[in-house]
Chain A
Protein backbone atom coordinates (compact mmCIF):
# COMPACT_ATOMS: atom_id res chain seq x y z
CA UNK A 1 0.00 0.00 0.00
CA UNK A 2 1.26 3.46 -0.90
CA UNK A 3 0.80 5.88 1.95
CA UNK A 4 0.13 9.61 1.33
CA UNK A 5 3.45 11.34 0.67
CA UNK A 6 4.77 13.21 3.71
CA UNK A 7 4.86 16.95 2.92
CA UNK A 8 5.11 18.22 6.50
CA UNK A 9 8.13 19.52 8.38
CA UNK A 10 10.02 20.97 5.42
CA UNK A 11 9.69 24.49 6.83
CA UNK A 12 12.92 25.24 8.70
CA UNK A 13 14.43 21.83 7.80
CA UNK A 14 18.20 21.93 7.20
CA UNK A 15 19.69 20.96 3.84
CA UNK A 16 23.45 20.57 3.44
CA UNK A 17 24.83 20.79 -0.10
CA UNK A 18 28.10 18.91 -0.52
CA UNK A 19 29.37 20.62 -3.67
CA UNK A 20 32.10 23.09 -4.53
CA UNK A 21 30.97 26.70 -5.04
CA UNK A 22 29.19 26.66 -8.39
CA UNK A 23 26.01 27.97 -10.12
CA UNK A 24 24.50 24.55 -9.32
CA UNK A 25 24.65 25.43 -5.64
CA UNK A 26 23.05 28.84 -6.29
CA UNK A 27 20.15 27.42 -8.30
CA UNK A 28 19.56 24.64 -5.79
CA UNK A 29 19.74 27.06 -2.87
CA UNK A 30 17.16 29.34 -4.48
CA UNK A 31 14.71 26.48 -4.84
CA UNK A 32 15.35 25.16 -1.32
CA UNK A 33 14.93 28.59 0.28
CA UNK A 34 11.71 29.17 -1.71
CA UNK A 35 10.41 25.87 -0.35
CA UNK A 36 11.29 27.02 3.17
CA UNK A 37 14.49 25.14 4.08
CA UNK A 38 17.66 26.47 5.69
CA UNK A 39 20.67 25.75 3.48
CA UNK A 40 24.42 25.44 3.97
CA UNK A 41 27.10 24.45 1.52
CA UNK A 42 30.29 22.50 2.32
CA UNK A 43 33.20 21.09 0.30
CA UNK A 44 35.07 18.80 0.28
CA UNK A 45 33.98 17.07 3.48
CA UNK A 46 30.83 16.85 5.53
CA UNK A 47 31.83 18.09 8.98
CA UNK A 48 30.32 16.88 12.25
CA UNK A 49 27.52 19.45 11.87
CA UNK A 50 26.29 17.41 8.86
CA UNK A 51 24.78 15.02 11.41
CA UNK A 52 22.25 17.76 12.21
CA UNK A 53 21.15 18.05 8.56
CA UNK A 54 17.70 16.79 7.53
CA UNK A 55 18.74 16.33 3.88
CA UNK A 56 22.12 15.93 2.14
CA UNK A 57 22.59 16.93 -1.52
CA UNK A 58 25.91 15.55 -2.78
CA UNK A 59 27.96 15.92 -5.96
CA UNK A 60 28.43 12.69 -7.85
CA UNK A 61 30.89 14.15 -10.37
CA UNK A 62 33.68 14.84 -7.89
CA UNK A 63 32.41 12.82 -4.92
CA UNK A 64 34.29 10.06 -3.04
CA UNK A 65 33.61 7.76 -0.09
CA UNK A 66 35.73 9.57 2.49
CA UNK A 67 33.56 12.69 2.28
CA UNK A 68 30.88 11.05 4.40
CA UNK A 69 31.22 10.56 8.17
CA UNK A 70 29.11 7.37 8.08
CA UNK A 71 29.44 4.02 6.30
CA UNK A 72 28.06 3.66 2.76
CA UNK A 73 24.25 3.34 2.63
CA UNK A 74 24.00 4.18 6.34
CA UNK A 75 23.31 7.93 6.18
CA UNK A 76 21.02 8.97 9.02
CA UNK A 77 19.02 11.24 6.69
CA UNK A 78 17.76 11.24 3.08
CA UNK A 79 20.50 11.79 0.46
CA UNK A 80 20.03 13.31 -2.99
CA UNK A 81 22.62 12.83 -5.74
CA UNK A 82 23.52 15.82 -7.94
CA UNK A 83 24.38 14.12 -11.21
CA UNK A 84 26.28 15.90 -13.98
CA UNK A 85 28.05 13.16 -15.90
CA UNK A 86 25.60 10.32 -16.43
CA UNK A 87 28.45 7.82 -16.71
CA UNK A 88 27.49 4.39 -15.36
CA UNK A 89 30.44 4.44 -12.95
CA UNK A 90 29.30 7.66 -11.32
CA UNK A 91 25.67 6.51 -11.11
CA UNK A 92 26.85 3.27 -9.55
CA UNK A 93 28.89 5.21 -6.98
CA UNK A 94 25.90 7.42 -6.09
CA UNK A 95 23.80 4.31 -5.47
CA UNK A 96 26.55 2.60 -3.54
CA UNK A 97 27.00 5.61 -1.25
CA UNK A 98 23.24 5.62 -0.69
CA UNK A 99 21.30 8.08 -2.88
CA UNK A 100 17.54 8.06 -2.26
CA UNK A 101 16.77 10.41 -5.17
CA UNK A 102 18.63 12.43 -7.79
CA UNK A 103 18.69 15.79 -9.53
CA UNK A 104 20.35 16.30 -12.88
CA UNK A 105 22.77 19.18 -13.44
CA UNK A 106 22.52 21.87 -14.66
CA UNK A 107 19.92 22.57 -12.02
CA UNK A 108 17.29 24.98 -13.29
CA UNK A 109 14.00 26.06 -12.04
CA UNK A 110 12.43 22.93 -10.65
CA UNK A 111 12.86 19.34 -9.54
CA UNK A 112 13.98 20.03 -6.00
CA UNK A 113 10.59 19.66 -4.32
CA UNK A 114 9.99 16.25 -5.88
CA UNK A 115 13.55 15.18 -5.02
CA UNK A 116 12.96 16.12 -1.36
CA UNK A 117 9.68 14.21 -1.10
CA UNK A 118 10.90 11.17 -3.06
CA UNK A 119 14.17 10.98 -1.10
CA UNK A 120 12.34 11.20 2.20
CA UNK A 121 9.82 8.53 1.18
CA UNK A 122 12.70 6.27 0.03
CA UNK A 123 14.62 6.90 3.24
CA UNK A 124 11.55 6.11 5.37
CA UNK A 125 10.93 2.93 3.38
CA UNK A 126 14.57 1.78 3.74
CA UNK A 127 14.51 2.45 7.45
CA UNK A 128 11.25 0.57 7.95
CA UNK A 129 12.56 -2.37 5.88
CA UNK A 130 15.85 -2.41 7.78
CA UNK A 131 13.99 -2.54 11.08
CA UNK A 132 11.83 -5.37 9.76
CA UNK A 133 14.85 -7.30 8.50
CA UNK A 134 16.64 -6.85 11.83
CA UNK A 135 13.58 -8.14 13.67
CA UNK A 136 13.26 -11.16 11.37
CA UNK A 137 16.98 -11.82 11.71
CA UNK A 138 16.67 -11.78 15.48
CA UNK A 139 13.76 -14.21 15.32
CA UNK A 140 15.71 -16.49 13.00
CA UNK A 141 18.60 -16.46 15.46
CA UNK A 142 16.20 -17.54 18.19
CA UNK A 143 14.85 -20.58 16.33
CA UNK A 144 17.05 -22.84 18.45
CA UNK A 145 15.65 -21.37 21.67
CA UNK A 146 12.10 -21.98 20.45
CA UNK A 147 12.90 -25.61 19.67
CA UNK A 148 14.46 -25.98 23.13
CA UNK A 149 11.45 -24.39 24.86
CA UNK A 150 8.98 -26.65 23.02
CA UNK A 151 11.11 -29.70 23.90
CA UNK A 152 11.23 -28.69 27.60
CA UNK A 153 7.44 -28.19 27.72
CA UNK A 154 6.86 -31.48 25.83
CA UNK A 155 9.10 -33.28 28.32
CA UNK A 156 6.39 -32.57 30.90
CA UNK A 157 3.96 -34.97 29.28
CA UNK A 158 2.60 -32.93 26.35
CA UNK A 159 2.61 -33.61 22.66
CA UNK A 160 4.79 -31.32 20.57
CA UNK A 161 1.69 -29.55 19.17
CA UNK A 162 0.29 -28.96 22.67
CA UNK A 163 3.65 -27.65 23.88
CA UNK A 164 3.80 -25.27 20.93
CA UNK A 165 0.26 -24.00 21.67
CA UNK A 166 1.11 -23.58 25.35
CA UNK A 167 4.17 -21.51 24.46
CA UNK A 168 2.00 -19.30 22.26
CA UNK A 169 -0.47 -18.81 25.11
CA UNK A 170 2.36 -17.89 27.48
CA UNK A 171 3.62 -15.27 25.03
CA UNK A 172 0.13 -13.79 24.80
CA UNK A 173 -0.38 -13.81 28.55
CA UNK A 174 3.00 -12.21 29.18
CA UNK A 175 2.49 -9.81 26.25
CA UNK A 176 5.90 -10.61 24.81
CA UNK A 177 7.01 -12.05 21.45
CA UNK A 178 6.94 -15.79 20.89
CA UNK A 179 10.75 -15.81 20.93
CA UNK A 180 10.97 -13.86 24.18
CA UNK A 181 8.52 -16.29 25.79
CA UNK A 182 10.71 -19.16 24.60
CA UNK A 183 13.71 -17.44 26.21
CA UNK A 184 11.91 -17.25 29.53
CA UNK A 185 10.79 -20.88 29.39
CA UNK A 186 14.30 -22.07 28.62
CA UNK A 187 15.74 -19.89 31.36
CA UNK A 188 13.29 -21.26 33.94
CA UNK A 189 12.76 -24.90 32.94
CA UNK A 190 16.33 -25.30 31.78
CA UNK A 191 17.54 -24.04 35.19
CA UNK A 192 15.13 -26.35 37.00
CA UNK A 193 16.45 -29.24 34.92
CA UNK A 194 19.99 -28.41 35.96
CA UNK A 195 18.86 -28.15 39.60
CA UNK A 196 17.22 -31.56 39.29
CA UNK A 197 20.38 -33.04 37.93
CA UNK A 198 22.40 -31.45 40.74
CA UNK A 199 19.94 -32.82 43.31
CA UNK A 200 20.20 -36.24 41.84
CA UNK A 201 23.95 -35.99 41.61
Chain B
Protein backbone atom coordinates (compact mmCIF):
# COMPACT_ATOMS: atom_id res chain seq x y z
CA UNK B 1 0.00 0.00 0.00
CA UNK B 2 1.50 3.29 -1.08
CA UNK B 3 1.30 6.38 1.17
CA UNK B 4 0.24 9.47 -0.72
CA UNK B 5 2.57 12.34 0.14
CA UNK B 6 2.37 15.81 -1.36
CA UNK B 7 5.66 17.58 -2.12
CA UNK B 8 5.94 21.22 -3.12
CA UNK B 9 7.74 22.41 -6.25
CA UNK B 10 8.82 26.02 -6.61
CA UNK B 11 10.22 26.72 -10.06
CA UNK B 12 10.04 29.84 -12.21
CA UNK B 13 9.20 28.66 -15.71
CA UNK B 14 9.18 32.04 -17.39
CA UNK B 15 12.24 33.87 -16.02
CA UNK B 16 15.49 34.87 -17.73
CA UNK B 17 17.02 31.82 -16.02
CA UNK B 18 14.10 29.52 -16.99
CA UNK B 19 16.40 26.94 -18.64
CA UNK B 20 18.01 26.21 -15.26
CA UNK B 21 14.62 26.00 -13.55
CA UNK B 22 13.29 23.67 -16.24
CA UNK B 23 16.34 21.37 -15.96
CA UNK B 24 15.98 21.21 -12.20
CA UNK B 25 12.22 20.66 -12.43
CA UNK B 26 12.70 17.86 -14.97
CA UNK B 27 15.06 16.07 -12.56
CA UNK B 28 12.61 16.42 -9.67
CA UNK B 29 9.69 15.11 -11.76
CA UNK B 30 11.76 12.20 -13.08
CA UNK B 31 12.56 11.21 -9.50
CA UNK B 32 8.88 11.49 -8.51
CA UNK B 33 7.99 9.17 -11.41
CA UNK B 34 10.75 6.73 -10.45
CA UNK B 35 9.67 6.66 -6.80
CA UNK B 36 6.01 6.18 -7.71
CA UNK B 37 6.87 3.33 -10.08
CA UNK B 38 9.07 1.55 -7.54
CA UNK B 39 7.08 -1.30 -5.93
CA UNK B 40 9.65 -1.55 -3.12
CA UNK B 41 8.81 1.96 -1.87
CA UNK B 42 5.60 2.55 0.10
CA UNK B 43 5.35 6.07 -1.32
CA UNK B 44 3.30 7.87 -3.92
CA UNK B 45 4.61 11.42 -4.25
CA UNK B 46 2.18 14.07 -5.50
CA UNK B 47 3.84 17.25 -6.80
CA UNK B 48 2.19 20.53 -5.84
CA UNK B 49 3.59 23.23 -8.11
CA UNK B 50 3.72 27.01 -7.76
CA UNK B 51 5.44 29.27 -10.32
CA UNK B 52 6.84 32.56 -8.95
CA UNK B 53 7.46 33.70 -12.54
CA UNK B 54 11.02 34.80 -11.91
CA UNK B 55 9.87 37.50 -9.46
CA UNK B 56 11.98 37.26 -6.29
CA UNK B 57 9.17 38.77 -4.20
CA UNK B 58 6.75 36.00 -5.24
CA UNK B 59 8.81 33.13 -3.82
CA UNK B 60 7.83 33.76 -0.18
CA UNK B 61 4.06 33.97 -0.91
CA UNK B 62 4.18 30.92 -3.25
CA UNK B 63 6.02 28.88 -0.62
CA UNK B 64 3.48 29.94 2.02
CA UNK B 65 0.62 28.87 -0.26
CA UNK B 66 2.14 25.41 -0.57
CA UNK B 67 2.73 25.02 3.15
CA UNK B 68 -0.63 26.49 4.18
CA UNK B 69 -3.00 25.12 1.54
CA UNK B 70 -1.61 21.61 1.08
CA UNK B 71 -0.18 18.89 3.28
CA UNK B 72 3.27 19.25 1.71
CA UNK B 73 6.04 19.92 4.28
CA UNK B 74 8.92 19.39 1.85
CA UNK B 75 9.42 21.80 -1.03
CA UNK B 76 11.99 21.40 -3.79
CA UNK B 77 13.11 24.31 -5.90
CA UNK B 78 14.38 27.90 -6.03
CA UNK B 79 17.12 28.61 -8.55
CA UNK B 80 18.79 31.77 -7.29
CA UNK B 81 20.17 32.32 -3.79
CA UNK B 82 18.07 35.45 -3.67
CA UNK B 83 14.88 33.37 -3.97
CA UNK B 84 16.15 30.83 -1.42
CA UNK B 85 16.72 33.57 1.14
CA UNK B 86 13.21 34.89 0.40
CA UNK B 87 11.52 31.58 1.31
CA UNK B 88 13.42 30.81 4.53
CA UNK B 89 11.17 33.04 6.71
CA UNK B 90 8.08 31.21 5.34
CA UNK B 91 9.69 27.84 6.05
CA UNK B 92 10.47 28.93 9.62
CA UNK B 93 6.99 30.30 10.19
CA UNK B 94 5.07 27.34 8.80
CA UNK B 95 7.50 24.51 9.58
CA UNK B 96 8.60 23.44 6.12
CA UNK B 97 11.84 22.18 4.58
CA UNK B 98 13.31 23.41 1.30
CA UNK B 99 15.41 21.04 -0.79
CA UNK B 100 17.63 23.47 -2.66
CA UNK B 101 19.20 21.68 -5.63
CA UNK B 102 21.39 24.40 -7.22
CA UNK B 103 25.00 25.46 -6.72
CA UNK B 104 25.31 28.40 -4.33
CA UNK B 105 27.85 30.64 -2.61
CA UNK B 106 27.93 28.99 0.85
CA UNK B 107 27.89 30.63 4.30
CA UNK B 108 24.48 29.32 5.25
CA UNK B 109 23.23 26.30 7.21
CA UNK B 110 19.53 26.83 7.81
CA UNK B 111 17.55 24.47 10.03
CA UNK B 112 14.98 24.40 7.23
CA UNK B 113 17.08 23.86 4.10
CA UNK B 114 18.84 20.85 2.61
CA UNK B 115 21.59 21.90 0.21
CA UNK B 116 21.88 19.17 -2.42
CA UNK B 117 24.16 20.87 -4.93
CA UNK B 118 27.69 22.23 -4.61
CA UNK B 119 28.99 25.04 -2.37
CA UNK B 120 32.36 26.81 -2.94
CA UNK B 121 34.66 24.07 -1.62
CA UNK B 122 32.96 21.84 -4.21
CA UNK B 123 33.07 24.24 -7.17
CA UNK B 124 35.01 27.52 -6.94
CA UNK B 125 37.98 26.38 -4.85
CA UNK B 126 38.78 23.30 -6.95
CA UNK B 127 38.16 25.28 -10.14
CA UNK B 128 40.69 27.97 -9.19
CA UNK B 129 43.05 25.37 -7.78
CA UNK B 130 43.11 23.90 -11.28
CA UNK B 131 42.98 27.17 -13.26
CA UNK B 132 45.66 29.29 -11.55
CA UNK B 133 48.59 26.97 -12.36
CA UNK B 134 47.13 26.03 -15.74
CA UNK B 135 46.30 29.51 -17.02
CA UNK B 136 47.83 32.18 -14.78
CA UNK B 137 46.87 34.44 -11.92
CA UNK B 138 45.46 37.53 -13.63
CA UNK B 139 41.67 37.34 -13.36
CA UNK B 140 38.66 39.30 -14.55
CA UNK B 141 35.44 38.72 -12.56
CA UNK B 142 31.86 39.12 -13.78
CA UNK B 143 28.55 38.36 -12.09
CA UNK B 144 24.87 39.06 -11.79
CA UNK B 145 24.10 41.78 -9.30
CA UNK B 146 23.07 39.75 -6.23
CA UNK B 147 24.55 37.57 -3.54
CA UNK B 148 25.73 34.70 -5.80
CA UNK B 149 27.96 36.88 -7.99
CA UNK B 150 29.12 39.10 -5.13
CA UNK B 151 30.15 36.30 -2.83
CA UNK B 152 31.71 34.06 -5.50
CA UNK B 153 33.78 37.02 -6.68
CA UNK B 154 34.75 38.01 -3.13
CA UNK B 155 36.05 34.49 -2.55
CA UNK B 156 37.76 34.40 -5.95
CA UNK B 157 39.46 37.72 -5.20
CA UNK B 158 40.79 36.48 -1.87
CA UNK B 159 42.07 33.22 -3.41
CA UNK B 160 43.65 34.93 -6.42
CA UNK B 161 45.36 37.63 -4.35
CA UNK B 162 46.52 35.10 -1.72
CA UNK B 163 48.15 33.20 -4.59
CA UNK B 164 50.05 36.34 -5.63
CA UNK B 165 47.71 37.05 -8.54
CA UNK B 166 45.71 40.11 -9.45
CA UNK B 167 42.06 40.93 -10.14
CA UNK B 168 42.09 43.23 -13.17
CA UNK B 169 38.39 44.09 -13.09
CA UNK B 170 35.08 43.16 -11.54
CA UNK B 171 31.73 44.12 -13.06
CA UNK B 172 28.06 43.23 -12.48
CA UNK B 173 24.80 43.30 -14.42
CA UNK B 174 21.25 43.16 -13.01
CA UNK B 175 19.55 39.77 -13.59
CA UNK B 176 18.21 39.76 -17.15
CA UNK B 177 20.32 42.74 -18.35
CA UNK B 178 22.29 42.17 -21.55
CA UNK B 179 24.44 45.30 -21.98
CA UNK B 180 27.79 43.55 -21.82
CA UNK B 181 29.84 46.00 -23.93
CA UNK B 182 31.57 47.61 -20.97
CA UNK B 183 32.68 44.23 -19.57
CA UNK B 184 33.97 43.13 -22.95
CA UNK B 185 35.84 46.44 -23.41
CA UNK B 186 37.45 46.12 -19.97
CA UNK B 187 38.49 42.53 -20.65
CA UNK B 188 39.92 43.55 -23.99
CA UNK B 189 41.88 46.38 -22.38
CA UNK B 190 43.24 44.37 -19.43
CA UNK B 191 43.98 41.05 -21.24
CA UNK B 192 43.53 38.72 -18.23
CA UNK B 193 44.64 35.07 -18.04
CA UNK B 194 41.06 33.94 -17.41
CA UNK B 195 37.54 35.28 -16.85
CA UNK B 196 35.32 34.00 -14.03
CA UNK B 197 31.69 34.24 -15.15
CA UNK B 198 29.00 34.29 -12.43
CA UNK B 199 26.33 35.90 -14.58
CA UNK B 200 23.07 33.93 -14.72
CA UNK B 201 20.65 33.26 -17.56
CA UNK B 202 20.18 35.77 -20.38
CA UNK B 203 23.01 38.05 -19.15
CA UNK B 204 25.40 35.13 -19.26
CA UNK B 205 24.36 34.14 -22.80
CA UNK B 206 24.82 37.72 -24.04
CA UNK B 207 28.24 37.95 -22.40
CA UNK B 208 29.46 34.59 -23.71
CA UNK B 209 28.32 35.37 -27.27
CA UNK B 210 30.10 38.73 -27.17
CA UNK B 211 33.23 37.15 -25.71
CA UNK B 212 33.20 34.52 -28.44
CA UNK B 213 32.97 37.29 -31.04
CA UNK B 214 35.94 39.03 -29.39
CA UNK B 215 37.94 35.80 -29.70
CA UNK B 216 37.28 35.75 -33.43
CA UNK B 217 39.01 39.12 -33.89
CA UNK B 218 41.73 38.73 -31.23
CA UNK B 219 43.07 35.20 -30.66
CA UNK B 220 44.17 35.97 -27.09
CA UNK B 221 40.51 35.76 -26.06
CA UNK B 222 40.11 32.11 -26.94
CA UNK B 223 39.91 29.16 -24.57
CA UNK B 224 43.58 28.21 -24.96
CA UNK B 225 44.93 31.52 -23.63
CA UNK B 226 42.02 33.15 -21.76
CA UNK B 227 39.22 30.69 -20.95
CA UNK B 228 35.90 31.60 -19.30
CA UNK B 229 35.33 29.66 -16.07
CA UNK B 230 32.01 29.09 -14.35
CA UNK B 231 30.66 27.38 -11.25
CA UNK B 232 27.13 26.97 -12.58
CA UNK B 233 27.27 26.26 -16.31
CA UNK B 234 25.78 22.92 -17.37
CA UNK B 235 24.57 21.21 -20.53
CA UNK B 236 21.09 22.75 -20.07
CA UNK B 237 22.42 26.16 -21.16
CA UNK B 238 24.49 25.03 -24.14
CA UNK B 239 21.67 25.27 -26.76
CA UNK B 240 21.27 29.08 -26.62
CA UNK B 241 25.06 29.48 -26.77
CA UNK B 242 25.73 27.39 -29.87
CA UNK B 243 29.34 27.82 -31.03
CA UNK B 244 29.97 30.41 -28.32
CA UNK B 245 30.01 27.59 -25.77
CA UNK B 246 33.11 25.99 -27.21
CA UNK B 247 36.01 26.06 -24.74
CA UNK B 248 33.97 27.11 -21.69
CA UNK B 249 35.16 25.46 -18.47
CA UNK B 250 32.89 24.58 -15.56
CA UNK B 251 33.04 22.83 -12.21
CA UNK B 252 30.14 20.67 -11.08
CA UNK B 253 29.12 17.35 -9.53
CA UNK B 254 28.01 15.79 -12.82
CA UNK B 255 28.57 16.08 -16.54
CA UNK B 256 26.91 13.93 -19.19
CA UNK B 257 28.57 10.54 -19.45
CA UNK B 258 30.18 10.55 -15.99
CA UNK B 259 29.00 7.60 -13.94
CA UNK B 260 28.77 6.98 -10.21
CA UNK B 261 26.45 9.82 -9.11
CA UNK B 262 23.54 10.08 -8.58
CA UNK B 263 23.12 6.36 -9.15
CA UNK B 264 22.41 4.56 -12.39
CA UNK B 265 20.95 6.34 -15.38
CA UNK B 266 21.89 9.29 -17.54
CA UNK B 267 20.95 12.88 -16.83
CA UNK B 268 20.81 15.85 -19.16
CA UNK B 269 22.75 18.09 -16.76
CA UNK B 270 24.03 18.45 -13.17
CA UNK B 271 20.96 20.57 -12.34
CA UNK B 272 18.70 17.71 -13.39
CA UNK B 273 20.90 15.17 -11.57
CA UNK B 274 21.01 17.15 -8.31
CA UNK B 275 17.23 17.61 -8.22
CA UNK B 276 16.72 13.95 -9.04
CA UNK B 277 19.11 12.99 -6.24
CA UNK B 278 17.34 15.35 -3.80
CA UNK B 279 13.90 13.80 -4.36
CA UNK B 280 15.33 10.27 -4.26
CA UNK B 281 17.05 11.03 -0.95
CA UNK B 282 13.85 12.55 0.45
CA UNK B 283 12.00 9.37 -0.62
CA UNK B 284 14.65 7.20 1.04
CA UNK B 285 14.21 9.16 4.29
CA UNK B 286 10.41 8.90 4.15
CA UNK B 287 10.07 5.29 2.99
CA UNK B 288 8.72 2.72 5.43
CA UNK B 289 8.53 5.30 8.23
CA UNK B 290 4.85 6.37 8.27
CA UNK B 291 4.28 9.83 9.70
CA UNK B 292 7.89 11.08 9.39
CA UNK B 293 6.91 13.44 6.57
CA UNK B 294 5.74 15.97 9.16
CA UNK B 295 8.90 15.80 11.30
CA UNK B 296 11.25 18.77 11.45
CA UNK B 297 14.32 18.28 9.29
CA UNK B 298 16.66 17.61 12.24
CA UNK B 299 14.46 14.74 13.44
CA UNK B 300 14.07 13.34 9.93
CA UNK B 301 17.86 13.27 9.40
CA UNK B 302 18.79 11.99 12.87
CA UNK B 303 20.51 8.63 12.53
CA UNK B 304 19.36 8.23 8.93
CA UNK B 305 22.85 8.13 7.38
CA UNK B 306 23.18 9.01 3.72
CA UNK B 307 25.06 11.79 1.90
CA UNK B 308 23.51 14.72 3.84
CA UNK B 309 25.49 15.97 6.83
CA UNK B 310 23.15 16.23 9.82
CA UNK B 311 25.02 19.27 11.17
CA UNK B 312 25.23 21.47 8.06
CA UNK B 313 22.54 19.87 5.83
CA UNK B 314 25.05 19.95 2.98
CA UNK B 315 25.74 17.02 0.67
CA UNK B 316 28.89 15.10 -0.16
CA UNK B 317 29.29 15.37 -3.96
CA UNK B 318 31.69 14.48 -6.76
CA UNK B 319 33.88 17.41 -7.86
CA UNK B 320 34.49 17.47 -11.60
CA UNK B 321 36.08 20.09 -13.87
CA UNK B 322 35.11 19.85 -17.52
CA UNK B 323 35.38 21.81 -20.77
CA UNK B 324 32.96 22.18 -23.65
CA UNK B 325 34.44 20.66 -26.81
CA UNK B 326 32.32 20.26 -29.96
CA UNK B 327 29.11 20.92 -28.08
CA UNK B 328 29.62 18.57 -25.15
CA UNK B 329 31.49 18.66 -21.84
CA UNK B 330 34.73 16.64 -21.69
CA UNK B 331 36.12 15.92 -18.22
CA UNK B 332 39.47 17.61 -17.48
CA UNK B 333 39.77 16.50 -13.87
CA UNK B 334 37.73 14.31 -11.50
CA UNK B 335 38.66 15.10 -7.93
CA UNK B 336 36.58 12.45 -6.15
CA UNK B 337 33.74 12.95 -3.69
CA UNK B 338 34.04 15.94 -1.34
CA UNK B 339 31.81 16.77 1.66
CA UNK B 340 30.19 20.22 1.60
CA UNK B 341 31.99 22.77 3.79
CA UNK B 342 29.65 25.80 3.69
CA UNK B 343 31.70 28.04 6.00
CA UNK B 344 35.07 26.89 4.61
CA UNK B 345 36.13 25.95 8.12
CA UNK B 346 36.69 22.22 7.74
CA UNK B 347 39.37 21.93 5.11
CA UNK B 348 42.38 24.13 4.52
CA UNK B 349 41.85 26.01 1.24
CA UNK B 350 43.94 24.64 -1.60
CA UNK B 351 47.60 25.62 -1.41
CA UNK B 352 47.39 27.91 -4.42
CA UNK B 353 50.17 30.14 -3.08
CA UNK B 354 52.81 27.52 -3.84
CA UNK B 355 51.72 26.81 -7.40
CA UNK B 356 53.93 27.76 -10.28
CA UNK B 357 52.95 30.12 -13.08
CA UNK B 358 52.44 28.56 -16.47
CA UNK B 359 52.89 31.10 -19.21
Contact = CB atoms under 8 A, between A and B. Distances in A.
B82 interface: no
B344 interface: yes
Given A10-B343, A109-B112, A110-B110, A33 B92 contact: no
Contacts of A35: 109, 343, 345
Nearest to B155: A7
Contacts of B92: 108-109
Residues of A in contact with B, size category: 10 to 19
Contact of A36 (B88, B111, B158, B343): B343
A113 interface: yes
B346 interface: yes
A7 B157 CA distance: 14
A33 B107 contact: no
A53 to B, nearest CB: 17
A9 B190 CA distance: 34
Interface string A99-126: 0000000001110010000000000000
Given A34-B311, A109-B92, 18 more contacts: A7-B343, A7-B344, A10-B343, A10-B345, A12-B345, A30-B111, A30-B298, A34-B312, A34-B313, A35-B343, A35-B345, A37-B345, A108-B92, A108-B111, A109-B111, A110-B110, A113-B107, A113-B343
A6 to B, nearest CB: 11
A11 B345 contact: yes
B109 A31 contact: yes
Contact of A4 (B158, B312, B342): B158
Which of A10, A30, A33, A109 has the largest count of B CB atoms less than 10 A from its CB? A109
B341 to A, nearest CB: 8
B109 A34 contact: yes
Interface of A: 4, 7, 10-12, 30-31, 33-37, 108-110, 113
A109 B311 contact: no
8 contacts: A7-B344, A11-B345, A11-B346, A34-B342, A34-B343, A109-B88, A109-B92, A109-B111
B2 to A, nearest CB: 33
Which 4 pairs show the lowest CB-CB distances between chains A and B?
A: A36-B345, A11-B345, A34-B109, A109-B111
A25 to B, nearest CB: 15
Contacts of A34: 109, 311-313, 342-343
Interface string B75-100: 00000000000001000100000000
Given A108-B92, A109-B111, A110-B110, A33 B311 contact: yes
A31 B343 CA distance: 11
Nearest to A110: B110
A110 B343 CA distance: 13
A29 to B, nearest CB: 10
Contacts of B88: 109
Contacts of B344: 7, 11
Contacts of A10: 343, 345
Nearest to B348: A11
Which of B108, B112, B298, B343 has the largest count of A CB atoms less than 10 A from its CB? B343
A158 to B, nearest CB: 50
Which of A30, A36, A108 has the largest count of B CB atoms less than 10 A from its CB? A36
Nearest to B113: A109
Interface string B269-305: 0000000000000000000000000000010000000
Contacts of A36: 341, 343, 345-346
Contacts of B343: 7, 10-11, 34-36, 113
A149 B217 CA distance: 71
A12 B313 CA distance: 19
Contacts of B345: 10-12, 35-37
A146 to B, nearest CB: 42
A30 B311 CA distance: 7
Which of B88, B107, B341 has the largest count of A CB atoms less than 10 A from its CB? B107
Nearest to A7: B344
Nearest to A112: B109
A33 B92 CA distance: 20
Contacts of B342: 34
Nearest to A37: B345
Nearest to A4: B158
A12 B345 CA distance: 8
